[in-house]
Structure 1
Amino acid sequence: MQFGLLDLSLILLLLHLLGVIAAVHAVLTVRTSQGAVAWCVALLTLPYVTLLPYLFLGRRRFADYVAARRFVVERMHEQAGRMGWRPLREMASDLIVNSEHACIRTLSRLAGSPTTGHNRVRLLVDGEATFAAILAAIAAARRCVIVQFFIVHDDSVGRALQRALIERASEGVKVHFLYDSIGCHALPGRYIDTLRKAGVDARAFAATRGMVNRFQVNFRNHRKLVIVDGERAFVGGHNVGDEYLGRRPPLSPWRDTHIELVGPVAAVLQLSFTEDWYAATQTLPTVLLPKKADGGTMLCQVIPSGPTDRLESGSLLFVEAINAARRRVWITSPYFVPDEAVSAALRLAVLRGVEVKVLLPSRPDHRVVFAASTLYAYEAARAGVQLFRYQPGFLHQKVLLIDDEIAIVGSANLDNRSFRLNFELMVATVDAGFAAEVGAMLADDFSHAVAIDPAVLSALPPWRRVAMGLARLFAPIL
């Protein structure tokens, strides 16, 4: 039986009909208007290439997944109460302090978690400092180690972490290891098997359970968190792999930032981990209520965000931080795909006379995202935002500096995926001395960057501008 022109026409007709159906579905289910428009345009004009991605990515907000996640969090607190220890949220409430900064009070309400005082925070610049501090803290653990990463590689850095966790487990330390099933898709099973055989409680975080979510690859746990003995924590942009130490060209040297936190803030970070752990395992991890850090004077506000939040916490974090700025707002991010709210906040900050500087990479790790980011960057530059491209290597850090006291570090990128699709974790700090240290770090980064000239856009070849426009259609899932 030969395949004829009529058969091809019927197949194309069927694909277009399915594209129309999927476009209607997008209108009804996609969370934002710009996302719905982007999917509709793509599905109606190019159903041959967008239907399959929509199957995996397009159902922006699964009602059953959202409800299930909220349900297990409630169950977690109930089970904690029945076990005879106070739920973490109640434990953390003992540590609440009142901040004079309206921005921090707003972020506390947005996150649904308390602002804590009496903390110490140390800036860790790049991978060598970060992993040296993390491995040293793990080696000193006596009771409990919590490890959570989006990506873990079975390379020299990954095996160093593996050995450290196995050594602690052999000494009777309780070790919880949570990895994202999508981010760690390339991690060999033997890596996890080795951990489990040594007594490490290693589990995968997955949002694909159940019939409805079996194709879901959008909801990823992008958080990077290590907590030792309930009182020393590490948060930032590094995953676990040789590239994060700049050992893998062509993106090396790798530029990233982590922070080490000691004090009551670790209780709130344990709360974030416990919710993720319980969602993945339906069991409670070992948690410890931290003490005040000796000499600790810093206020810290933890802001976890994710697709099951009742508000769009990821986007609103950036909006509130930018709106709070009166003198300067400096932002570093590997991706620049802002939604309308964040774009408006940046433009308004410029109009208020605030110095708005954004540092982006000059090298792409994801070409579609880089193309879309470039178009957004040119548009922001035309509005007066100062944008720069970091030259020495790939820039992966996620840092915001607001005026002279507030610094925010964590895992969230300045893009829609971090705003609405990923589970992210950021920590805001209030301390003039630490903010000055972050400012000095960022000033050095900007000194190794080249400014983006908005006039360059009009000089680009037409095919480049068309390509960037097409990439921008996928902004809601980038």
Structure 2
Amino acid sequence: MDAAAWIVAAASVLAAVVGPVAAVHALLTKREPQVAAAWMAVCIIFPVGGALFYYVFGINRVETRARKLVAEERIPPSPGPSMETHSPSLGPEYAEQIRISDAVTGRPLEYGNRVQSLHNGEQAYPTMLEAIDAAQQTVYLSTYIFETNTSGRQFIRALTAAHRRGVEVRVLIDGVGEFYSWPRASRLLRRTGVPVARFLPPRLLPPQLSINLRNHRKLLVIDGQTGFTGGMNLGDRHLLQSDREHRVADIHFLVDGPVVHQMEQVFLEDWAFTTGEARAASPPGKPHVDGALSRIITDGPNEDLDRLVMTLIGALSAAREEIWLVTPYFLPMRSLMTALEAAALRGVEVNVLLPARNNLPFVHWATRHMLGELIHWGVNIYYQPPPFAHTKLFVVDRRYAQVGSANMDPRSLRLNFELNAEFYDRAIAGEMAADCQRIRAHSRRISEEELRQRPPLERVRDAACWLASPYL
């Protein structure tokens, strides 16, 4: 047998082994049947290439490592805590949502928190930089994208100055998100001596191919007392008043109160996961007399999987008057779609605000395929005009609100490490609902008729993108 025949025989044996093995692995490890079936089909139809693709994008290598590095896994409290343990001022309308979040999140509610909305980089960045400049003990920063343009370098200078005056500074940047800018922020920070780590950076030696599992959390915690979170990355693109072509509108949030301690704990868990270095959290801050009840909800492909989905469904089920949902990427899983439709059918005003022009066209196309069903059952869909709207808000009955990094798509709800903050407070929820109303005022409502009138090729394109939505 010549060399060519040996190569053909070896390739045939390889195809006969790796494809079925990868398919069986998907069958045993995937949580949803349609996802398992899709991966199995890819691995069987394309035995070698499909198996390699599955190895790179389909295997969750995070869960086991995370469980080993987090010193003590959070254990959810027993369900049904008394309302008095949270706040005597809360009415019974909060009981259902509190009971669900208590059981799901494994974190306690913290009383006495204030929150302030910061619109776009023009408001957020100066406030964040001022907080870094005023730091006395610790500065913990985690972000998905850290650009090295003018805005990014302002943060690098502020972090460097804090480090040089003796503040304990730690910076965590996602290993894929950092490639949005060159030179990389991690390299510039290391040059100035700031401790920085990259979350699951892709590399060949030693192999690290968890490309799909990203840290999408945005956190800045100062002295364990002041925190910032939301959906805003660091870079000039968030300066809405600039002349940049690809500007991004967004809202970030300044949080002050005991719940910041939970934000710091999340950062330190991520830092330990990435570096193996365990650090003690600062003591919780003092509650404000006029502050809100709040807690942090984490989600990710580790022990936190599906916690955010369950709290969202719980809130949708408890809605009685109105729901506001603002998100840049909207590809909800079937359970969330059903919850939105059921709320609309029982008379709740359900409003979903999406960008008219998305920075990821294939996500926009996939979304258009499934909007017709939601509209048919009474969900109101609105398109916001450019610039691209990256804001994430979720408000129920002007009494409950969630803000944070999570989008309404499979990547956020199944693959990314995300962080949201929930607030049980009518003043805060009312202010966020007012923001949603202002967004709706200059948005355009979408109708079933408009979607039905799409050209046939456009409808096929949208459906094909929707078919791939579990991987977008």
Instruction: Give TM-score, length-normalised by structure 2.
Output: 0.87
Q: Of residues 102, 115, 122 in structure 1, which corresponds to 2:116? A: 122
**Aligned equivalents of 1:371, 1:50: Cα separation in 2:** 25
Residue of structure 1 in register with 2:55 after alignment: 55
Gaps of 5+ in 2: 1-6, 78-84
Residue 66 in structure 1 maps to residue 63 in structure 2: yes
Residue 365 to residue 430, structure 1, CA distance change in 2 (3 Å)? same
**Aligned equivalents of 2:109, 2:207: Cα separation in 1:** 35
Residue 398 in structure 1 maps to residue 398 in structure 2: no
Residue of structure 2 in register with 1:173 after alignment: 167
Deviation at 1:13, TM superposition (A): 12
Deviation at 1:166, TM superposition (A): 0.8
Partner amino acid for 2:454?
L
**Aligned equivalents of 1:190, 1:183: Cα separation in 2:** 10
**Aligned equivalents of 2:352, 2:213: Cα separation in 1:** 27
Structure 2 residue matching 1:184: 3-state secondary structure: helix
Partner amino acid for 1:182?
V
Residue of structure 2 in register with 1:425 after alignment: 419
**Aligned equivalents of 2:351, 2:172: Cα separation in 1:** 35
Q: Is the 8 A contact 2:97 2:314 kept in 1?
A: yes
Residue 158 to residue 344, structure 1, CA distance change in 2 (3 Å)? same
Residue of structure 2 in register with 1:388 after alignment: 382
Residue of structure 2 in register with 1:81 after alignment: none
Q: Of residues 351, 358, 362 in structure 2, which corresponds to 1:364? A: 358
**Aligned equivalents of 2:344, 2:107: Cα separation in 1:** 31
Residue 373 in structure 1 maps to residue 367 in structure 2: yes
Structure 2 residue matching 1:309: 3-state secondary structure: coil
Residue 273 in structure 1 maps to residue 267 in structure 2: yes
Q: Of residues 184, 192, 198 in structure 2, which corresponds to 1:204? A: 198
Q: Of residues 132, 137, 155 in structure 1, which corresponds to 2:126? A: 132
Q: Is the 8 A contact 2:173 2:186 kept in 1?
A: no
Deviation at 1:242, TM superposition (A): 1.0
Deviation at 1:200, TM superposition (A): 1.7
Residue 109 in structure 1 maps to residue 103 in structure 2: yes
**Aligned equivalents of 1:161, 1:461: Cα separation in 2:** 47
| Percent of matched pairs sharing the same residue | 33
**Aligned equivalents of 2:323, 2:33: Cα separation in 1:** 28
**Aligned equivalents of 1:463, 1:147: Cα separation in 2:** 45
Partner amino acid for 1:431?
D
Residue of structure 1 in register with 2:35 after alignment: 35
Residue 469 to residue 212, structure 1, CA distance change in 2 (3 Å)? farther
Residue of structure 2 in register with 1:184 after alignment: 178
Q: Is the 8 A contact 1:114 1:268 kept in 2?
A: no
Q: What is the RMSD computed on CA atoms of the aligned residues?
A: 3.0
Residue 227 in structure 1 maps to residue 221 in structure 2: yes
Which range is displaced more, 283-292 or 422-431?
Answer: 283-292
Residue of structure 2 in register with 1:218 after alignment: 212
**Aligned equivalents of 1:49, 1:350: Cα separation in 2:** 44
Residue 318 in structure 1 maps to residue 306 in structure 2: no
Residue of structure 1 in register with 2:440 after alignment: 446
Partner amino acid for 1:26?
A
Partner amino acid for 1:167?
A
Residue 464 in structure 1 maps to residue 458 in structure 2: yes
Residue of structure 2 in register with 1:237 after alignment: 231
Deviation at 1:280, TM superposition (A): 0.8
Deviation at 1:376, TM superposition (A): 2.0
Deviation at 1:248, TM superposition (A): 6.9
Residue of structure 2 in register with 1:97 after alignment: 86
Q: How does 1:342-353 map to 2 (within 5 A)?
A: 342-353=336-347
Q: Is the 8 A contact 1:314 1:420 kept in 2?
A: no
Structure 2 residue matching 1:439: 3-state secondary structure: helix
**Aligned equivalents of 1:447, 1:404: Cα separation in 2:** 18
Residue of structure 2 in register with 1:80 after alignment: none
**Aligned equivalents of 2:451, 2:47: Cα separation in 1:** 29
Q: Is the 8 A contact 2:145 2:174 kept in 1?
A: yes
Partner amino acid for 2:27?
V
Q: Is the 8 A contact 1:301 1:428 kept in 2?
A: yes
Residue of structure 1 in register with 2:276 after alignment: 282
**Aligned equivalents of 2:15, 2:458: Cα separation in 1:** 29
Partner amino acid for 2:327?
S
Deviation at 1:255, TM superposition (A): 1.8
**Aligned equivalents of 2:19, 2:463: Cα separation in 1:** 21
Deviation at 1:49, TM superposition (A): 8.3
